[in-house]
Amino acid sequence: GAVVSQHPSRVICKSGTSVKIECRSLDFQATTMFWYRQFPKQSLMLMATSNEGSKATYEQGVEKDKFLINHASLTLSTLTVTSAHPEDSSFYICSAMDGNSPLHFGNGTRLTVT
Amino acid sequence: QKEVEQNSGPLSVPEGAIASLNCTYSDRGSQSFFWYRQYSGKSPELIMSIYSNGDKEDGRFTAQLNKASQYVSLLIRDSQPSDSATYLCAVSWSGTASKLTFGTGTRLQVTL
């Protein structure tokens, strides 16, 4: 089945620094990938839709200048959290579609900002 | 605002029993429905998808959809301790699973 790889699985950074998270579709091409965020004991919230070769579409309330998304190829999307703050500490999960099949999720990235 | 609602639980069932998880959604235009299982600290994994009214069975899992009542459920037969997890209901307002709205999840505990 379709596999989505996400890296890193955990990252700790200092407040004010930037962190890049990668999401790769390993055995299929994904023109669209999705970035979710999950705070403890809460559900997944869609942050943005990443479209290969064009600008990402951000959900209401998500700052596009803070969460930079690049989808430069059919197998890779990156999310960069710029000038991270402790309130950005969360579990970030990417997902991708293989054709019309249901979404497959990456293993997630646990971000801790100190 | 489109919403997906679930009872947060925990739902506790003994090993071997049937676990019944419920989900309601707000938009009648919803077309695709999914159940994901999420273990603590892990990302969700797809359990079932259902697109039309009625029941859909896959092994020990049965998804039930009632669009008139805007209700989707997941039954887990012969519950095992390894089924203990949070079950997320997800709904798409398009014909594909492109953009999902998730419920807050129901935590299931299967006791020995």
Among candidates A37, A13, A19, which has minimal Cα distance to A94?
A37
The token pair that represents A104 in the structure block: 């497959």
How large is the C-alpha radius of gyration of chain A? 13
Among candidates B20, B18, B19, B23, which has minimal Cα distance to B34?
B23
Tell me the pLDDT tens digit for each residue of B75-87.
999 999 999 999 9
Chain A nearest C-alpha distance from B79 (Å): 23
- As a whole number of angstroms, the distance between CA B33 and CA A82 comes to 34
Which of A47, A59, A103 to probe by mutation at the B interface, max B CB count within 10 Å? Answer: A103
- As a whole number of angstroms, the distance between CA B57 and CA B48 comes to 9
Q: What residues of B are in contact with residue A101 (Cβ under 8 Å)?
A: 97
pLDDT of residue A2: 58
Burial B82-95 (b: 16+ CB within 10 A, else e): ebbbbbbbbbbeee
**Cross-chain Cβ contact A105/B43 below 8 Å:** yes
Which residues lie below 8 Å from residue B28, measured CB to CB, with a gap of 6+?
B67, B70
Q: Which of A45, A91, A97 is closest, CB to CB, to B97?
A: A97
Which residues 9-68 of A have a C-beta within 8 angstroms of B? Answer: 32, 34, 42-46, 49
For chain A (114 residues), the mean pLDDT of every run of 10, in chain order, is 86 97 90 91 90 89 94 92 96 85 86 97
Tell me if A103 sits within 8 A of A97, measured CB to CB.
yes
Among candidates B40, B16, B55, B28, which has minimal Cα distance to B88?
B40
Q: What's the one-letter identity of residue A71?
A: H
Tell me the pLDDT tens digit for each residue of B31-52.
899 999 999 989 999 999 999 9
Q: Examine the pLDDT at B97 and tell me if it is beyond 60.
A: no
Chain B nearest C-alpha distance from A50 (Å): 11
pLDDT of residue B11: 96
Residue B45 at interface with chain A, using a CB cutoff of 8 Å:
yes
pLDDT of residue B96: 57
Chain B nearest C-alpha distance from A53 (Å): 18
Q: What residues of A are in contact with residue B49 (Cβ under 8 Å)?
A: 102
Q: How confident is the model at residue B2 (pLDDT cuts 50, 70, 90)?
A: confident
Q: What residues of B are in contact with residue A30 (Cβ under 8 Å)?
A: none
Among candidates A18, A36, A16, which has minimal Cα distance to A77?
A36
Which of A43, A59, A104 to probe by mutation at the B interface, max B CB count within 10 Å? Answer: A43
pLDDT of residue A1: 56
Tell me if B52 sits within 8 A of B64, measured CB to CB.
no
**Cross-chain Cβ contact A101/B43 below 8 Å:** no
